[in-house]
Structure 1
Amino acid sequence: MSERILTPFGFESAALEVVEGVDLSGRRAVVTGGASGIGVETVRALAAAGAEVTIAARDVEAGRRVAAEVSASTGNNAVLVAPLELTSQESVKAFASAWDGPLHLLINNAGVMAPPLTRTPEGWELQFATNHFGHFALTLGLFAALRAEGARVVNVSSAGHLSSPVVFDDIHYERREYDRWQAYGQSKTANVLFGVEAGRRWSGEGITMNALMPGGILTALQRHITPEELEERRRLRGGSNPLRLKTPEQGAATTLVLAVSPLVEGRSGLYFEDCDEALPHAPGMSNGLAAYAADPEAAAQLWEVSEETLKVQA
């Protein structure tokens, strides 16, 4: 077992601190959901370090506004925007097909949290379709670009993964009663398992994939949740010590650690919290990595189900 990775950064660190002194000139990055929340700060930090950054967004106009603001604040004019709707396989294929040349960083950041039961036209539960299937199809669609020079893929997961493993016999709530938090949880577990199996399958391809918990941050991600419910969940998750909130700048820091730190070079299937590799989850704790999210058998099964469902292969 490898020694746990600890970095010089922590809960209070901001994304720009993580990239200080890092030179990403000549590197190309894609950030899904880069037009809002921690995605904006992820884009800003990558641009500040000199990368060419493409904001992949449903709302292209919002993406353009963010791109202009980030370019103005960093002096980097290579902040681009492209349309991407993760629930549409046609949109995902179009984005991947239009990509030309190498891709060094893919930040699978976009997501949806705890909506009422909603299904895609295919009948897939919305959270799993967006948070996992969309990013799975996008990553495999960009495989050749990622493999060209070696790349890092970063999946923004959540401590919400502690709510549920992937329930393979009823992923889309066709037979069981819908629970929006469990549905969110299994989609976030899938984000971690994706990296576990990618590490096994792509170990010789020069591509690594890791996942993270950004922390509790008030962003548009919580648009389906009332303030009262959010406060109640903070109390429940934190027990006698309610979950501390982060700013978006702090929330993006762990993403940047996985994107640029030499400490994670060549490593896959890891899960980070507060800029360090997470410990295993312990009963009564609101953090850590659930054993089922690191299970290689579940990771292999998820990959097979995803390929079969989406009819995609790298």
Structure 2
Amino acid sequence: MSESSLITTPFHSESTASDVVAGINLAGRRAVVTGATSGIGLETARALAEAGAEVTLAVRNLNAGKLAAEDIAVTTGNPLVKVMPLNLTDRSSIASFVASWRGPLHILINNAGIMATPETRTPEGWELQFATNHLGHFALATGLHDALAAADGARVVSVSSAGHLRSPVVFDDIHFLRRPYDPFLAYGQSKTANILFAVEASKRWINEGITANALMPGGVRTPGVDRIQITPEQIEKLNETRTGYPEIIWKTPQQGAATSALLATSPLLNGIGGRYFENCNEVGPRVGETQSGLASYAMDPDAADELWNVSMEWINS
């Protein structure tokens, strides 16, 4: 992809989600945001409600979800904020969410995620980060396909990370059954999967008016980041691989939510999918060893197709 074809916007790393939705009217539109009780998800949901959308917070903790919904309604003046239970590692929970949804869905924000967790497996034997960050959202999005198709121009937003630069999807051993478990490689391949999903969803669903794009929100000290359990050996390994990288510039949650809000609402993205954004602008391939840009394997159409087929097989097994 040439630099001249990249989508640019007036927004930047310090823009907030409120900045991005200013002047945008989402009245009559319906949105779902996963992981919306705190951090980036909460502020993404707030921005969509601020623009007039009916927003459903899809959350594991209903009490936290209700508090978040009340906060959003009060701060935006929009009472159309709902809460529904969703556990992305429980296929029955996802199925219940999908079965209870009625009518069109205009915006789906696949925001929830976990990072660098100790080696843990779901009852199916799936590695927890891949199961949560990719497979759960894949099951949700494909389950809601008909609702998205009914919206006439639906958008799916896939929250990835610069962490995807650490690893492609290792199809020979996705769940670390034969190789030593590394929490950051596991996280990296799950974030690559988020991008590959956007590539393939856009390819398969574009004729139904559904587009999907992926993004890097930036460094935000969310509760999930603060809970990372990391050993001294892993810190040393991270420092080695970060040689030459700039120090992380931490964003506020409102700034971290800006790119998600942009992909969900901007007229510049009408009919455009399968792309990757940072700081509210599309980025091209990674250059050198920078901590920015897109790994070529994250846009590989063959890998995107294979991931889709493998994921569909697993969630229906």
TM-score (normalizing by structure 1): 0.96
Contact 1:237 1:243 in 2 (8 A): no
Q: Which runs of 5+ in 1 are unaligned?
A: none
RMSD, aligned α-carbons? 1.8
**Superposed counterparts of 1:78-89, under 5 Å:** 78-89=80-91
AA of the residue aligned to 2:137: H
Q: 1:224 aligns with which of 228, 233, 237?
A: 228
The verdict on how the C-alpha distance between 1:53 and 1:231 changes in structure 2, with shifts beyond 3 A counting, is farther
Counterpart of 1:149 in 2: which secondary structure? coil
- 2:58 maps to 1:56: yes
1:200-220: CA deviation from partner (whole Å, max 9, x where unpaired): 111211100000000000011
- 2:241 maps to 1:250: no
Contact 1:235 1:242 in 2 (8 A): no
Q: 1:124 aligns with which of 106, 126, 131?
A: 126
1:103-153: CA deviation from partner (whole Å, max 9, x where unpaired): 000000000100100000000000000000000000011001000023000
Q: Partner residue of 2:13?
A: 11
Q: Partner residue of 2:158?
A: 155
Counterpart of 1:169 in 2: which secondary structure? coil
AA of the residue aligned to 2:207: G
Q: 2:176 aligns with which of 173, 176, 179?
A: 173
Whole-Å separation in 1 of the counterparts to 2:24 and 2:6: 23
1:9-59: CA deviation from partner (whole Å, max 9, x where unpaired): 000000000000000000000000011110110011000000000000001
TM-score (normalizing by structure 2): 0.95
Counterpart of 2:158 in 1: which secondary structure? strand
Whole-Å separation in 1 of the counterparts to 2:105 and 2:157: 13
Contact 1:234 1:243 in 2 (8 A): no
AA of the residue aligned to 2:219: G
Whole-Å separation in 1 of the counterparts to 2:98 and 2:217: 26
Q: Partner residue of 1:301?
A: 306
The verdict on how the C-alpha distance between 1:232 and 1:255 changes in structure 2, with shifts beyond 3 A counting, is farther
Counterpart of 1:170 in 2: which secondary structure? coil
Whole-Å separation in 1 of the counterparts to 2:310 and 2:58: 25
Contact 1:54 1:82 in 2 (8 A): yes
**Superposed counterparts of 1:1-314, under 5 Å:** 3-150=5-152, 151-222=154-225, 223-225=227-229, 233=238, 237=242, 239=244, 241-311=246-316
Whole-Å separation in 1 of the counterparts to 2:219 and 2:240: 12
Whole-Å separation in 2 of the counterparts to 1:230 and 1:43: 33
CA-CA distance at 1:279 after TM superposition: 2.0
Counterpart of 1:30 in 2: which secondary structure? strand
Contact 2:133 2:194 in 1 (8 A): yes
Q: Which runs of 5+ in 2 are unaligned?
A: none
Counterpart of 2:208 in 1: which secondary structure? coil
AA of the residue aligned to 2:177: E
CA-CA distance at 1:231 after TM superposition: 11
AA of the residue aligned to 2:291: S
The verdict on how the C-alpha distance between 1:130 and 1:192 changes in structure 2, with shifts beyond 3 A counting, is same
Whole-Å separation in 1 of the counterparts to 2:256 and 2:243: 18
AA of the residue aligned to 1:111: G
CA-CA distance at 1:238 after TM superposition: 7.2
Counterpart of 1:153 in 2: which secondary structure? strand
The verdict on how the C-alpha distance between 1:23 and 1:241 changes in structure 2, with shifts beyond 3 A counting, is same
CA-CA distance at 1:224 after TM superposition: 2.0
Contact 1:38 1:249 in 2 (8 A): yes
Whole-Å separation in 1 of the counterparts to 2:247 and 2:237: 9
AA of the residue aligned to 1:224: I
